[in-house]
Amino acid sequence: MKFLLENEQATVDFGAKLAEFIPEKGIVFLHGPLGAGKTTLVRGLLQSSGHKGSTKSPTYTLVEPYQINGKKFYHFDLYRLSDGEELEYMGFRDYLDENCLCLIEWPEKGGVFLPKADLEIYLSYQGEQRSIKLTANNPQWQELVDRL
């Protein structure tokens, strides 16, 4: 399913809409070039879930944890990884064992060390706007996409 987002606020709003339907546990990949709106989308999702603070890209920390209303979220940014094997050193599998939602920017940097995503979000430039495409990789998440 594909959508066109007019501006930054529309991207935040789309993230908020996702939060209405998204399961508490799963893996979401966010694909797209620099500045396409990956972190902005995550900000909308987290704020709509009840997060009150700022949402920054974890480019330097690689992961930002959030505990919101009894739910766990982990926001990863793998842009700085030089090899997917680095995920093993940072204990990535431990995050997956928890009942949480993992939001992963730049998943291609994780290579074979990442499991398959439940949902893949592709953001791209379309002039001054952004195009967003959602691909679900299992039936439960396909229901989410269909509701949007």
Mapping DSSP to helix (H, G, I), strand (E, B) and coil, where does residue 141 land?
helix
Q: How far from 82 is each of 4, 18, 78, 85, CA to CA, in Å?
A: 32, 31, 9, 9
Give the model confidence (pLDDT) of 25-82 as tens digits: 999 999 999 999 999 999 999 999 999 888 877 776 789 999 999 999 999 999 999 8
pLDDT (tens digit per residue) in 67-103: 999 999 999 999 999 888 898 888 888 888 778 999 9
Nearest Cα residue to 105 out of 47, 63, 44, 67: 63
pTM for this entry: 0.93
Pairing of strands 100-105, 119-126: unpaired
Q: List, in order of start, the domains of the chain with CATH numbers.
A: 2-140 (3.40.50.300)
pLDDT of residue 4: 93
